[in-house]
Structure 1
Amino acid sequence: MNQSRLNRILEQMKLNNLDQIIITAPNSLYYLLDQMFHPGERMLALYINKEGKHAMIANALFPSAKHLDTQVLFYDDTQDPVEILKGLLIDGNFGVDKEWPSHFLVRLMKKVPNLTIEIGSVSVDTPRMMKDADEVKRMKHASKVNDQAMEQVVAALREKKYSEIELKKLIPTFYESLETHEVSFSPSVCYGENGAVPHHDSNETMPGEGAVLIDMGGRTDGYCSDMTRSFYYGQPTEEYRKVYDLVLEANLAGIAAVKPGIKIYQVDDASRKVIADAGYGDYFTHRTGHGIGIEVHEFPDCSGVSETVLEEGMTFTIEPGIYLEGKFGVRIEDVVLVTKDGCEVLNSYPKALQSL
């Protein structure tokens, strides 16, 4: 059990008037226990009360749990884990994980009908926003690996013309060569007008002279990276150069806006204003970014409605884009770490326009 992280969760429980919570989301369990579980349909829950007492309820199929630094209450498939949880409860408000399957929750509500239930995940999500020294080290390493993987992608594109789907299948092998054995999300490879769809699903399209957009990330030592770079096969057109330069300016404006004490919507505003002032506001169709850490998308989002105040240690993406239907799309994405007086960009792969 990571005691300092547990203490931060206990502080949040007090602020949120929670006397006890359960954590069931595998990524949040990893945050505290540094061990990843994939329980499938079986119940796996870490119970914590306001006094700091904790216990894990785990199926006997997960014997590795016995090595955890907490009491472990094992059950088998002939037993009801909800009944075990009932035995741990104390009087007071009970926070449940936002990802806990409803069939467990409904059974608990029937067993303890007077239980006051709240969503408890905010007491975990808030501490997870601010990365500690170990997490920062892992995040920096993950982004360094991502830079190296992008170098391999560009080298592959210059050596041979792959279809979108062929290159997408190659990308995990680049991470493997860098001892990263899991992508943090399904890579996006977009040629030409396909890049105008922000979440285009790569297909058999072959590259011709025109735009190339690569969005990719790996999960290294438990932490995620995420980066987008846009390129051009051949000589970029005047329109493409204009849009590219605009998106890069918006990316840099968002980065420049980051500092502790401002609200995260101000970062979105800074990036979006650059694009809107140039007349392309209607073509920037998504938020500027998202939190990142153990998960590639985690709290908070970097949108125009996010009131979250930036604090030192937060990590999130800045990824403005312009998408011109039937033509091309340009997106430039970096992961940033909020520092004492600004931010540090964790990616170092170049952002100057490259021809392939």
Structure 2
Amino acid sequence: MYEARIETVMQNLARRGLSQMLVCDPRSIQYLTGAYVEPGERFLGLVLGEGRTPTLVYNEMFAVPADLACAVRTFNDTEDPLVPAADLCDPARPLGCDKNLAARFLIPLMERGAASGFVLASDVVDDARAHKSAEERDLMRTASRTNDAAMARFKELVREGVTEAEVAGQLEVVYRELGAQGHSFSPIVSFGANAADPHHEPDGTRLAPGDAVLFDVGCRQGEYCADMTRTFFFGEPTQKQREVYETVRRANEAAQRVVAPGVRFCDIDRAAREVIEEAGYGPYFTHRLGHQIGLDVHEPGDVSSVHEAPVEVGMCFSIEPGIYLPGEFGVRIEDLVIVTEDGCEALNAYPHELEVLG
């Protein structure tokens, strides 16, 4: 599996006119080798080169699997990590670098003449990661099924007077009880007017009758990420709340209907945005429609009005339209989808219908 992934990256490199690369993103290294290390301020790099054995350079204090799909070169805290890294590069050829190569390492490599030039080439790995294998798709399905089951339990935590922070603090326990490794990102729990802030951080706001209740949550399971948003109402919603909710629901479903190989990301965004604009809420849909997801909760390649590339089989991304009315309330409904041969598969089965709590 890892050998095939490395070969795909090498083919992508060749199309860029490159023959070697230094990969520093921890999740990309995990994708290519099976080893996940969070290096903090220390150097971590996988050196790939045409005709050469892929080699992981890492601090010996970290534990990695014994059966890695690559060679290893270690260093300790008193040694210069860039010595082995530079030794593994061909100074006569340009070096592809990924977006996580910090300046404190890049500039010394340049000064040492480790390569004839340095080229930002994150896309060669990002493109490989964007096309999920059958095994990866199953892992994404499993994580999303757990997220569905968790959502059914999260809403039971909602009661009058409870704070957003109190609810948010209980979510990880539920995830772990359901077999997940924990959160894939910091959860968003928003009550009332706070739901009009798309990235609100849970605080001491207490739930009151008539409030919208927004959960934007995700778990990590089998190392892959889930992400889903549902909006409820605590008590009978007003006519305006119902109208906004139904508009967002229709926008989500309209976008899912147009997903198919060859359809552009921007056209998927447009399908949802048109529904919201026609309902008169266009200015209140303030973000892109979605993002790709996998080992990271946000992976390169967004579903937005400016992304004109076509979607391809195996790509996985979110569809999350929203309407945010400052000082009043907000609604977002988010699902993950995988592009199939003739459309898309929604990974979330939790219903879209408006649900009243309390």
CA offsets per residue over residues 197-220 of structure 1, 9 Å max, x none?
111111111111121111000011
TM-score, L = length of structure 2: 0.96
Aligned counterparts of 2:251 and 2:324: Cα–Cα separation in 1: 14
- Corresponding pairs, count: 355
For 1:69, the equivalent position in structure 2 comes to 69
CA offsets per residue over residues 170-219 of structure 1, 9 Å max, x none?
11111011121220111111111110111111111111112111100001
Cα distance 1:66–1:82, how it changes in 2: closer, same or farther (>3 A)? farther
> Any conservation in 1 of the 2:56–2:72 contact (CA below 8 Å)?
yes
Q: Does 1:167 align with 2:167?
A: yes
Q: How big is the alpha-carbon RMSD for the aligned residues of Structure 1 and Structure 2?
A: 1.4
Shift of 1:118: 0.2
Aligned counterparts of 1:51 and 1:314: Cα–Cα separation in 2: 30
Deviates more, 1:110-119 or 1:36-45: 110-119
Deviates more, 1:67-76 or 1:116-125: 67-76
> Any conservation in 2 of the 1:291–1:315 contact (CA below 8 Å)?
yes
CA offsets per residue over residues 291-313 of structure 1, 9 Å max, x none?
01000000111110012210000
> Any conservation in 1 of the 2:95–2:115 contact (CA below 8 Å)?
no
For 1:199, the equivalent position in structure 2 comes to 199
Secondary structure of the corresponding residue to residue 293 of structure 1: coil
Deviates more, 1:195-204 or 1:29-38: 29-38
Pairing 1:2-21 to 2, within 5 Å after superposition: 2-21=2-21
Aligned counterparts of 1:113 and 1:68: Cα–Cα separation in 2: 25
Shift of 1:66: 4.7
Q: Does 1:176 align with 2:176?
A: yes
Aligned counterparts of 1:200 and 1:86: Cα–Cα separation in 2: 44
Cα distance 1:308–1:52, how it changes in 2: closer, same or farther (>3 A)? farther
For 2:36, the equivalent position in structure 1 comes to 36
CA offsets per residue over residues 129-188 of structure 1, 9 Å max, x none?
010011001000000000011011012226x75210000101111101112122011111
For 2:311, the equivalent position in structure 1 comes to 310
Q: Which ranges of structure 1 fall in alignment gaps of 5 or more residues?
A: none
Pairing 1:140-151 to 2, within 5 Å after superposition: 140-151=141-152
> Any conservation in 2 of the 1:231–1:353 contact (CA below 8 Å)?
yes
For 1:296, the equivalent position in structure 2 comes to 297
Shift of 1:113: 7.1
For 1:57, the equivalent position in structure 2 comes to 57
Deviates more, 1:215-224 or 1:55-64: 55-64
Pairing 1:328-347 to 2, within 5 Å after superposition: 328-347=329-348
> Any conservation in 2 of the 1:259–1:342 contact (CA below 8 Å)?
yes
Aligned counterparts of 1:80 and 1:5: Cα–Cα separation in 2: 29
Shift of 1:24: 1.1
> Any conservation in 2 of the 1:320–1:333 contact (CA below 8 Å)?
yes
Q: Does 1:106 align with 2:107?
A: yes
Pairing 1:187-226 to 2, within 5 Å after superposition: 187-209=187-209, 210-226=211-227
Letter paired with 2:59: N
Aligned counterparts of 2:151 and 2:296: Cα–Cα separation in 1: 20
Aligned counterparts of 1:234 and 1:325: Cα–Cα separation in 2: 20
> Any conservation in 2 of the 1:247–1:331 contact (CA below 8 Å)?
yes
Shift of 1:27: 0.7
Percent sequence identity is 41
Letter paired with 2:177: S
Shift of 1:52: 5.5
Secondary structure of the corresponding residue to residue 216 of structure 2: strand
Cα distance 1:52–1:41, how it changes in 2: closer, same or farther (>3 A)? same
Shift of 1:114: 6.2
For 1:186, the equivalent position in structure 2 comes to 186
Deviates more, 1:179-188 or 1:331-340: 179-188
Aligned counterparts of 1:224 and 1:113: Cα–Cα separation in 2: 36
For 1:123, the equivalent position in structure 2 comes to 124
> Any conservation in 2 of the 1:10–1:52 contact (CA below 8 Å)?
no
For 2:263, the equivalent position in structure 1 comes to 262
For 2:24, the equivalent position in structure 1 comes to 24
> Any conservation in 2 of the 1:28–1:124 contact (CA below 8 Å)?
yes
Cα distance 1:344–1:52, how it changes in 2: closer, same or farther (>3 A)? farther
Aligned counterparts of 2:300 and 2:351: Cα–Cα separation in 1: 27
